Amino acid sequence: MKDIKVYGPGCKRCETTEAMVKETAEKLGVDVSVEKVTDPRAIAMAGVMSTPGIAIDGKLVHAGGLPDGKKLEAWLSA
């Protein structure tokens, strides 16, 4: 199971990113645990300077704007 954190204050882009992660994981058949992190201090401590951000298994893989679908597939497949 992959541990995924979606960082953001709860804006529309952050919600869309969370949905993209869940939909892509389901499409690929990857078992994931998705946690939404909205605390500004936790976001900053994770090194996310621009939201939304995505961390997979503790590694920050994306920050700022919606992620590219192909990249998201690659991150979840790795």
Ordered DSSP codes for 18-69: HHHHHHHHHHHT--EEEEEE--HHHHHHTT-SSSSEEEETTEEEEESSPPPH
| Residues 7/53, Cβ–Cβ less than 8 Å | yes
Which one of the listed residues 9, 10, 11, 50 is annotated catalytic?
Answer: 11
Which pTM value belongs to this model? 0.94
How many domains are there within the chain? 1
**65 catalytic residue (yes or no):** no
* Domain interval for residue 30: 2-77
Residues facing residue 63 across a β-bridge:
53
Which one of the listed residues 4, 6, 14, 37 is annotated catalytic?
Answer: 14
φ/ψ of 62, rounded to 5, equals -155, 145
Share of the chain above pLDDT 90, in %: 97
Whichever domain contains 68, its CATH number is 3.40.30.10
pLDDT digits (tens, 9 = 90+) for 27-59: 999 999 999 999 999 999 999 999 999 999 999
**14 catalytic residue (yes or no):** yes
